[in-house]
Chain A
Amino acid sequence: MLEFARWKYVLVALVVLIGLLFALPNLFGEDPALQVERKSRAPMDDIARQSIEELLHKQNIVIKRDFIDSGRLILAFNDLASQLKARDTVDATLSDVDRSALANASRAPGWMRSIGLKAMPLGLDLRGGLYLLYQVDLQGAVSQLLESYEQSFRRALNEAKLPFADITTITAGTGGIANGLRVSLPADADAGAIEAVLKKVDGNLKFTSSSSASGPVVDMVLTAAQIKAREDYALEQNRTTLTNRVNELGVSEPIVQRQGLDRINVQLPGVQNSAEVKDLLGKVATLELRLVDTQNNPMQAEQSGHAPLGTKLYKREDGAPILLKREVIVTGDELTSATSTTSTEGPAVSIKLDARGADSMLRTTRLNVGKPMAVVYIEKSRRQVEVNGQKVDRDSTSEKVINVATIRGVFGPQFQVTGLTAGEARDLSLMLRSGSLAAPIEVVEERAIGPSLGQDNIDKGVRALEIGMLAVFVFMALYYHAFGLVADAVLLANVILLTALLSMLRASLSLPGIAGIILTVGMAVDANVLIYERIREELRNGVSPQAAIRAGFDKAFSAIADSNVTALIAGLALWVIGTGAIRGFAIVLTLGIATSMFTSLLGSRALITLMYGGRRKLARLSIG
């Protein structure tokens, strides 16, 4: 008699059934779709859905079906042309409150979706996805550099206690683009001493002193080589930041590459939250800390539209004007991390500063105890909109003072800021984690792209895989007879369980992932072969059939366990450290080893015990 506990049978049956259920949605195809969601992250409701339906009906766009999924409205269409037309219509009318992105919608019936069953997404090579082309504003890269030099100059001169009137940007030479800074000095200032201090900020900068009507000035103009270096840096930095942001948003296996002189293309496989991804990729959100100017009247400044020297006019959240000092205590570049948390006053962000920022914060707060300090939240984004058939860039920058507090003591490198919405707090922490964009970017093109391997190639590959698997099934049955059929059943269960796990994790499957599946199939076959060869060996040594089965499973166990654990180590290491395609392979490999261990050790033993376990006397085994 062979023994196998009843609960193990139940477990195997249950796991396979659940696996079947989760793998099921993969049998249905997909339709081209448009994803629309609220910029405020509020969930879409039926009223919004009806108004969008009406809007599209007016344009004679046929909606195949639509539904709300995790607060996002998904509109599925019959063809790509209606998808694109719908996108343009929605963007033209609703872009202030909603954001949209091209996507795919599964054809699986609604009840599957409503209980959370979804097909596994396919990678860019197998399914295609969303193609976004970003234009990098290289002039913006240079002006960002000038801004940061301006801040450093102000700080250096203040530290050296050298008085200066103002620092402004200048345009030298041809081109008409700002490429330098001018430090205006009081009439009696020593330009040489100022130059020496400024030189310390960056030794590569060139300074020239001259005198103007209002007094002496020191000019700094960037050389052509410095501008070129800055532009190159900005492109590469933006590419890295975009890659980080896509990864932060949990998109698996994206492609981010430079294109042409000043563009970056981002390709995303069928992601669930593509509208949000698209919106967040090109956004700049940061914080600045400045001292409040208490000497001048902000109302007056607002009326005259002119801020007094050394100050800048801002608006508070309630619309009231406020004057802040031009000198920034901490700039966005000096924040090292931000984590969104909650405080008694609502959502908050916990901020950490780098050494330079912490130093500046310490000095400023020590000198200004009792004075008010303001936190400015800056959000910039740029979009191309069509005005009268022409594409025009529209910049939207919102700078608002989210918080003014009196300095009660000395600030260290870590503190908390309130006054943000939960969404803003989350975005801000994501932006800081992924690094800042060195130049503003905007989407200039958005398209749904087909699979890079081509549908015909994929069909061929899938057919080849099917034929190969079928041949394996036949071969196993021929070689091991009834035991071979058990191995076939186990192999099938393995593929189903793996598909189910991949669908649950929503890891996208690409060609490297298929390599992982083939490897897993090999490992699953191997586990069975190890057991069966062991049983044959025992039979050859004259052991009784049932004892041979028991010994076969027991003795093969350590070989199966050790070989699978070593492969598991490789899989996990590649999963944790690897990126992109390597990670995709590792995910499939790791999950596949888990499922193949389960199916070959438990599943195959359950079936074999079911076949042979009950009989008291067993003359021979059908093992070939």
Chain B
Amino acid sequence: MEFFHRATTFPFMSTRKWWYGLSIVLILISLVSLVTRGLNLGVDFTGGVTVQATFPVAANRDAVITALTGAGYSDPQVTIFGTSRDIAIRLPPTKQSTETVRNQIEQVLHRVDAGAQIQQVEVVGPQIGGELQRSAAQALIATLLLIFGYIAVRFHTWRLSLGAILAVLHDPILVLGTFSVTRTTFDLTVVAAMLAVIGYSLNDTVVVFDRIRERFHGSRRLQPVVVLDQSINQTLSRTIMTKVVTLIVVVALYVLGGPVLRGFSEALIIGIVAGTYSSIYISSAVALDCGLKAEHLLPSSVKRPVDSMP
């Protein structure tokens, strides 16, 4: 089985202006939505209200969730709390008094079991305070700088580094934009998915770069546009194969994984598709428009020894 029976020769680079346009439009939509609508942050970020309740017999977690969802509470988190008869319900922040919340939840729980008793209703702070958000932002910036440096050293040119970093920024912005437009709950698991997306995007980009370096080695006379097109075509079957395999796992999670994994797998799907696209049309195309030439990648005429195998 093979996706392509013969070598492909798609002229990727000639249409890059159109794709730039598409990317810019999508990023603008994402940014505008992020600024005006913001993200629908989950209780991890916002804190909220915790209700503790006790049932006369072992609590049926599913029934409680169904009842709460039926009463209009979105994404209620229900945890078995201590013995199997105690539960804790986490709800998003509300302007209502804790007394009102207590009465409303009590009514809902009585539909599940008339003997349910509310023990405590309390406001809880966010899991991820400002401090943690700052440290996450620092981690991200430091990571991008290190990657920029590594690619610049390994490939001897900042042009490829710039392309890689722009591609890496492009994908999470689109994921964030989609979450903002669709109002999907943005919680900690989505953050993890976004980090994974960055990893994939980078991986793809570097594989294409590696082929570009190799092609320039073989034929210095060729036009950069031709070399880039050839490199992308030659790695195309690998790109598609890897993406298909990863998407099999992620789509399985999306379809079969239940509501908890929905946001997580959705972020991964969007990110993987965006990442494949950006490794072709952002990272390589940006490097080309920054004036990438053979001599940038091959600073001396002395051939570097090929890395030895372990």
B146–A573 touching, CB < 8 Å: yes
Compute the total of residue contacts between A and B using a CB distance below 8 Å.
253
Q: Please, how many angstroms separate the alpha-carbon atoms of A320 and B196 in the complex? A: 64
- Among A469, A521, A553, A582, the most chain B Cβ lie within 10 Å of the Cβ of A582
Main SS of chain A's interface residues? helix
Known A460-B258, A570-B147, A581-B188; contact A454-B199, beta-carbon cutoff 8 A: no
Q: Please, how many angstroms separate the alpha-carbon atoms of A456 and B258 in the complex? A: 9
- Among B78, B125, B202, B249, the most chain A Cβ lie within 10 Å of the Cβ of B249
Q: Please, how many angstroms separate the alpha-carbon atoms of A162 and B226 in the complex? A: 88
Q: Among B122, B245, B253, which residue has its beta carbon within 8 angstroms of that of A525? A: B245
Residue of B nearest to A480 (CB): B1
Main SS of chain B's interface residues? helix
B196–A578 touching, CB < 8 Å: no
* A70: interface (CB < 8 Å): no
Residue of B nearest to A462 (CB): B257
The interface bits of chain B over 128-145 (1 if a CB of A lies within 8 angstroms of the residue's CB, else 0) are 110110011011001100
A468–B207 touching, CB < 8 Å: no
A577–B139 touching, CB < 8 Å: yes
Q: Please, how many angstroms separate the alpha-carbon atoms of A263 and B125 in the complex? A: 10
B241–A468 touching, CB < 8 Å: no
Residue of B nearest to A589 (CB): B199
- Among A81, A453, A555, the most chain B Cβ lie within 10 Å of the Cβ of A453
Known A515-B193, A565-B150; contact A451-B203, beta-carbon cutoff 8 A: no
Binds B, one of A254-262, A285-293, A305-313, A423-431: A254-262
User: What distance in Å separates the Cβ of A252 from its nearest Cβ neighbour in chain B?
Assistant: 14
- Among B88, B128, B196, B268, the most chain A Cβ lie within 10 Å of the Cβ of B196
A36 proximity list for chain B (CB < 8 A): none
Q: Please, how many angstroms separate the alpha-carbon atoms of A4 and B165 in the complex? A: 39
The interface bits of chain A over 527-538 (1 if a CB of B lies within 8 angstroms of the residue's CB, else 0) are 001100100110
Q: Please, how many angstroms separate the alpha-carbon atoms of A474 and B214 in the complex? A: 33
Q: Among B122, B260, B261, which residue has its beta carbon within 8 angstroms of that of A259? A: B122
* A562: interface (CB < 8 Å): yes
Binds B, one of A273-281, A336-344, A442-450, A611-619: A442-450
User: What distance in Å separates the Cβ of B205 from its nearest Cβ neighbour in chain A?
Assistant: 8
Binds A, one of B33-41, B103-111, B287-295, B302-310: B302-310
Known A80-B82, A511-B264, A529-B245; contact A579-B132, beta-carbon cutoff 8 A: yes
B195 proximity list for chain A (CB < 8 A): 512, 515, 570, 574, 582, 585-586, 589
Known A559-B210, A563-B207, A569-B146; contact A447-B81, beta-carbon cutoff 8 A: yes
B206 proximity list for chain A (CB < 8 A): 559, 562-563, 566
Q: Among B136, B196, B210, B241, which residue has its beta carbon within 8 angstroms of that of A562? A: B210
A448–B82 touching, CB < 8 Å: yes
* A248: interface (CB < 8 Å): no
Known A460-B257, A461-B253, A471-B252; contact A260-B122, beta-carbon cutoff 8 A: yes
Q: Among A449, A479, A564, A566, which residue has its beta carbon within 8 angstroms of that of B80? A: A449
Of the four ranges (under 10, 10 to 19, 20 to 34, 35 or more), the interface on chain B belongs to: 35 or more
* A397: interface (CB < 8 Å): no
B124–A526 touching, CB < 8 Å: no
User: What distance in Å separates the Cβ of A495 from its nearest Cβ neighbour in chain B?
Assistant: 12
Q: Please, how many angstroms separate the alpha-carbon atoms of A257 and B47 in the complex? A: 8
User: What distance in Å separates the Cβ of B171 from its nearest Cβ neighbour in chain A?
Assistant: 13
Q: Among A449, A456, A464, A540, which residue has its beta carbon within 8 angstroms of that of B81? A: A449
* A465: interface (CB < 8 Å): yes
Residue of A nearest to B135 (CB): A579
Q: Please, how many angstroms separate the alpha-carbon atoms of A529 and B206 in the complex? A: 15
Q: 7 A-B contacts, Cβ less than 8 Å apart?
A: A450-B79, A471-B249, A479-B1, A511-B192, A569-B147, A570-B147, A585-B192
* Interface residues, chain A, with chain B CB atoms under 8 Å away: 80-81, 84, 128, 131, 239-240, 255, 257-260, 263, 265, 447-454, 456-457, 460-461, 463-465, 467-469, 471-472, 475-476, 478-479, 511-512, 515-516, 518-519, 521-523, 525-526, 529-530, 533, 536-537, 540, 553-555, 557-559, 561-567, 569-571, 573-574, 577-582, 585-586, 589, 601-602, 624
* Extra 16 A-B pairs, beta carbons < 8 Å, given A81-B83, A449-B88, A559-B206: A257-B126, A457-B259, A457-B260, A461-B253, A464-B252, A515-B192, A519-B199, A530-B238, A562-B206, A562-B210, A566-B147, A566-B150, A570-B143, A579-B135, A579-B136, A581-B192
In the A-B complex, the 3 residue pairs with the closest CB atoms: A468-B252, A450-B80, A512-B192
